[in-house]
Amino acid sequence: MSTTATAHELTLIVAATTLMGIGKAGTLPWAGLQKEMAYFARVTKKVPSAKTTSTLRQNVVIMGRKTWDSIPPRYRPLADRINIVITRNKLVAGESNVMGEDDEKIKYHQSRKNLIFVNSLESALEATTISKTIKPERIFVIGGAQIYEAALQMKEAKRILLTRILNDFDFDTKFPLTLNQDGTVQGDASYGWEKKSQKELSQWTGETNSTAGVQEENDIQYLYEMWERNEDK
């Protein structure tokens, strides 16, 4: 299995309950999972290629405006990653006139070189190809639900990194697919998805024993999983 991403290959990364709940009142249904958040940061930052070039090689994180707004201002844009925010609004929290003219698809932030605003997921993918100074490695979709759903409808969606929260939490927002612990899948875009082994997860993420088995923090248990789309099925 290759550890580098092909052009426009999308990896969705999400934490969800066993019922695929991912949000509650605009935030996560749970709190206090610092180790899980550190896993998210490591995986989305890690650049698999060791090549030295004249271009800046970073991973991309694509998110909707609500996900952007949910990140504390002191932490955004997410460091050491190219942040692409999908919004149809010209004004975004903490920014001004970021979208330029109404018909402008891609707008680069004037002072933050790793921050780009676009008006669609398709424009987000286009933005990853046109820069001469930044060449993305892996491309992650980090939420929210509508962005996940749009990504799952695209042929570029190849992989889901799931943190399965084993405790029960109330939620009002779900991930579009139901990924069952037994490896079965339900949903409109369920075709071809397969649960991969812990070894394959470790190989792709570069994480070692830290991803194996049930994890526990603050009385919350969870598992790390990887799913991939098998187009031959």
Flag whether pLDDT at 143 surpasses 90: yes
- Residue 2 domain-assigned (yes or no): no
- Residue 160 domain-assigned (yes or no): yes
Q: How far apart are CA 70 and CA 73, in angstroms?
A: 9
pLDDT band at 103 (very low <50, low <70, confident <90, very high): very low
What pLDDT is recorded for position 197? 95
Q: What does the block give as tokens for 72? A: 């504390």
SS3 108: strand
How many Cβ atoms from other residues are within 10 Å of residue 101's Cβ? 8
- Count of domains forming the chain: 1
Domain extent for 94: 10-47+57-229
pLDDT band at 191 (very low <50, low <70, confident <90, very high): confident
CATH number of 223's domain:
3.40.430.10
At position 231, the amino acid (one-letter code) is E
Q: Give 3-62 pLDDT, tens digit per residue.
A: 444 457 999 999 999 999 999 999 999 999 999 999 999 999 999 865 655 567 899 999
SS3 233: coil
State CA 219 to chain mean position distance.
25
- Residue 71 domain-assigned (yes or no): yes
pLDDT band at 102 (very low <50, low <70, confident <90, very high): very low
- Residue 215 domain-assigned (yes or no): yes
- Residue 216 domain-assigned (yes or no): yes
Give the global pTM: 0.89
- Residue 76 domain-assigned (yes or no): yes
